[in-house]
Amino acid sequence: MALTADQVIERARLFFPAIPLSSDSSPNGLDLLNEAFSELLFDIEMLSAESDISLTAGITNYSLPSGTVRLWSARYVRSATTGDFRELTPTNQDKLDNDGLDYLRQGSSEPLEYWVLPKSDGTPELWLTPAPPTTTSTYPKVVVRTTRYTALTGSATLPTGLPSYDIFVIALARKWAFLVGDEKLPYIEKLFQEKRAIAHNFRHSVSARVRPTMRPRVSWRPRKV
């Protein structure tokens, strides 16, 4: 059964009855739930979708879809032919600067790497290197997978697909406990980390036959004899 934001607030009030309802004056429980929800979307890949980014020759920076809180991947698609694309490699501004700013000397050609920088208003922006060589409204293009956030209303339904709504309830309780300095914060924090781990595990292992694993990195060296 899907839960609304108001129902999540009611459950969180079982931990802390003082959490204000969404109908109370702001800041209220809905404001805090929206903060917690936005943080969870950044942390866990929920509500992700693919979007097309049209390219302009020689331009390196592009706006991401409205409401984007995180970019998960990007690929350069050359044409409508199946398989005619290149998966772009994620990088960051510090690495590029430390490498000697070589990316600023590159001409226009097929992009190889991407990174994200906040614009002056704080919204994320996609950057590509090298800058694309052509301007089109169809192909080539960059396809991005992003998670986008839209503020919840009291009657809005929380995302489905997780094994339970506990993560949202505990996230709100945690936000409240931190805000008021409640002595139960360490207990709530422990619960939150447990529920967060469950949500991460479930999100990345929906298939019962493909489970996430951690494999040790093995290094082989010849042994002296």
Residues 17-47 pLDDT 10s: 999 998 888 889 999 999 999 999 888 888 8
Whole-prediction pTM: 0.76
pLDDT digits (tens, 9 = 90+) for 42-97: 888 888 889 999 999 999 999 999 889 889 999 999 999 999 999 999 988 888 77
- CA dihedral defined by 73, 195, 148, 209, rounded to 10 degrees? 40
Q: Measured on CA atoms in the order 15, 21, 25, 29, is the torsion positive or negative? A: positive
Strand pairing class (48-54; 141-148)? antiparallel
pLDDT attached to residue 198: 85
